[in-house]
Structure 1
Amino acid sequence: MSLDKDQIKASYPLPVYNYRVTVEATTLGFSEVSGLSVDYEPVTYKHGLSFAMGAKIIPGMRQPIKLTLKKGIVTGNSFLSTWFQDAYANPFKTAKKNILIDLCDETGKPVVRWKVQGALPIKLDAPTFDANSNDVAIETLELVAHDIQVDYLPK
C-alpha cells in the first residue's frame, strides 16, 4: 500500500527546531526551551483490604514546574534581564507572565501549543566568559510556573 503526500505529512514527526516563544504579547527568539513537563509524586495508599488486593498508587502533590529559556545576548536592552529585575522590584504587578510556546510545521503554522501560566523568573544566569572561545554569549532564565496546558491545534 502506497501513501500519498498528505498521509506522509500527517504521520511524520515534527522537528524540534521550528518553534516560537511569546511572552505576553512579545514574540522572542530563544536558542533553547526546556522543562515543559509536569510531574506528580506518587502516593501509596493502603486500605483495609490491602493485604488481599494490594496497595493503591494514586497521584499526589504536583512538583514545581521549572522552565529554562536560553537566549543569545544582543546589543541594547535585554527582555529577560528587565523581566527578572521588574519581578523583584514590583512583585505584585509585573512578576508573573503567561508564555506561549508553539511548535510549528514547515510553513511556520503552529501545530502544538504549550500554554505556560503564571511564570515567575527565579534565576538569571550570565554567560561564561572565555578568551579562548568564539561561542555566542547565551543568557539563561529559569522560571517557576503555575500550570502548563498542551493544545493540539486544528489543521
Structure 2
Amino acid sequence: MSSNSSANSKGWPMPNYRFRVDWGDIVQNILFQEVSGLDSETQLIEYRKGDSPDFGPVKMPGIAKYGNVTLKRGVFLNSGSFWKLYDELKLNTIKRRTVTIKLIDEIGKVVITWTLINAWPTKISSTDLKSDGNEVGIDSIELAYQELAFSNQADR
C-alpha cells in the first residue's frame, strides 16, 4: 500500500476525526471537538392534474429544509468568543457568516467541504458544572443557516 491517500479512493471509508472549521471572517482559530447536524431534507409536494387518468398524485421535490448544526469545543482560559456572538445576537447586530467545515484525509488534504451560507447562532450552551465530576468543560453553539453547499474533492 502506498503512503498517499489513494487507499481511500479504493473503497476505504473516510475517518471522521480530522476536520477543520473556518468561521467566516473571525480571524482567531476556533478548534472544535465535534460537529453534528449536517443534514438537508426536501419537502414533498404531491400534485395531481385535474384531467389525469391516474388516481394517484405525482410526487415532486419541494422546498429544501436544513437542520441546525451544533459545534462543540473544550473550554479554555480566555475563550469567550461564543458569548461575544451571543451579545451581538441580543443587541440585534448579528452578522451572518459563511462557515466552512472541511474533512481532511490522513495526509492533510481537504476531501469533503460543507459550507453553511448565512449562518448565525441560535443557541449557546456552556459547560455543566459538577463537584464530583472529572470531565473537561464543553461549550456548544448551534447555528441556523440559509443554505448548505457540499463539495467532494474526489469528484473534481
Which band: TM-score by shorter chain? 0.7 to 0.9
Q: Percent identity?
A: 25
1:103-142 pair list within 5 angstroms = 103-142=103-142
Deviation of 1:144 after TM superposition, in Å, equals 0.5
Do the aligned partners of 2:102 and 2:113 also contact (CA within 8 Å) in 1?
yes
Supply the RMSD in Å over aligned alpha carbons.
Answer: 2.1
Question: Is 1:8–2:13 an aligned residue pair?
Answer: no
Alignment-mate amino acid for residue 103 of structure 1? L
Do the aligned partners of 2:112 and 2:153 also contact (CA within 8 Å) in 1?
yes
Structure 1 stretch displaced more, 108-117 or 61-70: 61-70
Equivalent residue in structure 2 for 1:87, among 71, 89, 99: 89
What is the aligned length?
A: 150
Deviation of 1:51 after TM superposition, in Å, equals 5.2
Unaligned runs of 5+ in 2: none
Structure 1 residues 8, 53: CA separation in 2 closer, same or farther (over 3 Å shift)? farther
The aligned residue for residue 43 of structure 1 is: 45
1:96-107 pair list within 5 angstroms = 96-107=96-107
Do the aligned partners of 2:40 and 2:148 also contact (CA within 8 Å) in 1?
yes
Do the aligned partners of 2:111 and 2:153 also contact (CA within 8 Å) in 1?
yes
SS at match of 1:85: helix
Counterparts of 1:44 and 1:31, CA distance in 2: 41
Do the aligned partners of 1:88 and 1:95 also contact (CA within 8 Å) in 2?
no
Structure 1 stretch displaced more, 43-52 or 127-136: 43-52
Do the aligned partners of 2:66 and 2:147 also contact (CA within 8 Å) in 1?
no
Do the aligned partners of 1:87 and 1:96 also contact (CA within 8 Å) in 2?
no
Structure 1 stretch displaced more, 98-107 or 47-56: 47-56
Q: TM-score, normalized by length of structure 1?
A: 0.85
The aligned residue for residue 66 of structure 1 is: 68
Alignment-mate amino acid for residue 8 of structure 2? K
Do the aligned partners of 2:123 and 2:141 also contact (CA within 8 Å) in 1?
yes
Question: Is 1:150–2:150 an aligned residue pair?
Answer: yes
Q: TM-score, normalized by length of structure 2?
A: 0.84
Alignment-mate amino acid for residue 33 of structure 1? V
Counterparts of 2:30 and 2:77, CA distance in 1: 15
